[in-house]
Structure 1
C-alpha cells in the first residue's frame, strides 16, 4: 500500500471513530431505547454480506444478529438491567464511574474525578451538571473522546497528522479509560443476565485497545 493510501486509510479511521465513540456514549449514558436497538440492528443488516469487519466489531455484529432474529426482545427488561448494573438503589454490581475503581473505598468525587475534570478543561470543555453527576461517568469520558476525535478529524491535513487533540486522546486512553474500563467490563460480564451489555462491553474494551494502537 502506497504512503498516500495509508494516509487516506488513517484519515478515514479518524473520521469513523467519531461515530464509534458517540455510539458507545449513547449506550451507557441512559437506559436503552428503541433508537439504540435500531442502531445495533443496522450493524448486521449493513454488513450481512461483508467479511470486512474489525475484531472489536464482532461482538456488536453478533448482538445485532441476535436482535434481528429475536422479535421478542423486551426493552423493559433491558432498562431494568441497566438500572441493576449501573444505578441501584441496591449495591451496584458494575459502578459506571472511574473514581470507584481508583479508590480503595470505592468513593465518588475523588481526586480522580478532579483530574478527569482538568483534562476536560485543558481541551476547552466542561460537564454541564458536573456537581450532580461526577465528571468521570463512563458516558462523559466517552463523549470527551468523541469531542477529541471530532477535533482531530477537523484539523488533520495531508502534511500534519499529529495534533494536540491526538496527544490528548492517547493520554486520556492511557491514564483513564484503559485503567478502569477492563475491570468495569469484567463486572458487567459477571453480573449481567442478558447478552446485551456483555456484548457491548466486550466490543468497547476491544475498541479502546484497538484505538490506542492505531493512534500515531
Structure 2
C-alpha cells in the first residue's frame, strides 16, 4: 500500500512525463524521480538516456508519438478519443472532466489543450491527492474522505478506462521512444494500483 505522499509523487512525475518535455522534466529525471517511481510500483528501472541533448531527443520522441507524424499519430493523449463511441475530441466525457475541475474551483490555464489531455488529468489527480494529504495532516477525516471519493470517481470513470488502450498503442509502436514505452508501463501499473486501492478504501 502506497502512502499518500508516494501517490502524490507518482502523479506529479507522470503529469510531467506525459506533458510536452521541458527543463523541469529533465530535472526530475536527473534527481531520480523515474527510478523512485519504478521502485514504488515494482516495474523495471527506466531506460538510460544517453543522447547529448536529452531535451531535444524527448521533444522529438514526444512529438512523433503524441502530436504529429506522417501517416497519423499513434497514440493521441486525449481521453475522449478512446471513451466516445465515435472517437471524437471534446465529447461528453471531456465535459465531465471539465465539470470535475470546476467542482474544485480549478480552471484550465492557457495552452490550448482540451480538458481531457492526459497530463492535465494526472495533474488534477496530483492536486486531489495533495488536498487529501493536507486534510489528513489537520485530522480532517471527512475532508480527506471527500477527496478520496472524488479520486475514485475520476480514476474509475474518466482515466482508468482509456489508459490501457492508449498505452497499448504506444507499446505496439515500433518507433516509440524508450522513455515513453517505459512511462506507459508505469502509467498502466499505477492506474491499476489506484483503481484497486480506491475501490477498497471507499
The TM-score, its normalising length taken from structure 2, stands at 0.83
How far is the alpha carbon of 1:193 from its aligned partner?
3.2
How far is the alpha carbon of 1:204 from its aligned partner?
1.0
Q: Is the 8 A contact 2:34 2:46 kept in 1?
A: no
- List, as ranges, runs of 4+ consecutive aligned residues in structure 1 with deviation greater than 6 Å: 44-47
From 27, 51, 68, give the equivalent of 1:88. 68
Q: Residue in 1 aligned with 2:29?
A: 40
Q: 1:214 to 1:53 in 2, by over 3 A?
A: same
- Hey, what's the Cα distance between the residues in 1 that align with 2:69 and 2:57? 17
- Hey, what's the Cα distance between the residues in 2 that align with 1:45 and 1:181? 19
Q: Is 2:184 the counterpart of 1:213?
A: no
Q: Is 2:188 the counterpart of 1:199?
A: no
Deviations 1:154-204 (A, max 9, x none): 001557375211100011010011110111111111114332111011011
Deviations 1:85-132 (A, max 9, x none): 1111541110100011112432211111111101111122121238x3
Unaligned runs of 5+ in 2: none
Q: 1:18 to 1:63 in 2, by over 3 A?
A: same
**Count of residue correspondences:** 194
Q: Is 2:39 the counterpart of 1:58?
A: no
Unaligned runs of 5+ in 1: 1-8
- Hey, what's the Cα distance between the residues in 2 that align with 1:117 and 1:71? 38
Q: Is the 8 A contact 2:170 2:176 kept in 1?
A: no
How far is the alpha carbon of 1:46 from its aligned partner?
7.5
Residues 74-113 of structure 1 mapped to structure 2, 5 A cutoff: 74-88=54-68, 90=70, 91-113=72-94
- Hey, what's the Cα distance between the residues in 2 that align with 1:53 and 1:80? 27
Q: Give 1 or 2: higher helix fraction.
A: 1
Computed over aligned residues only, the root mean square deviation of the Cα atoms, in angstroms, reads 2.7
Which is higher, the Rg of structure 1 or of structure 2?
Answer: 1
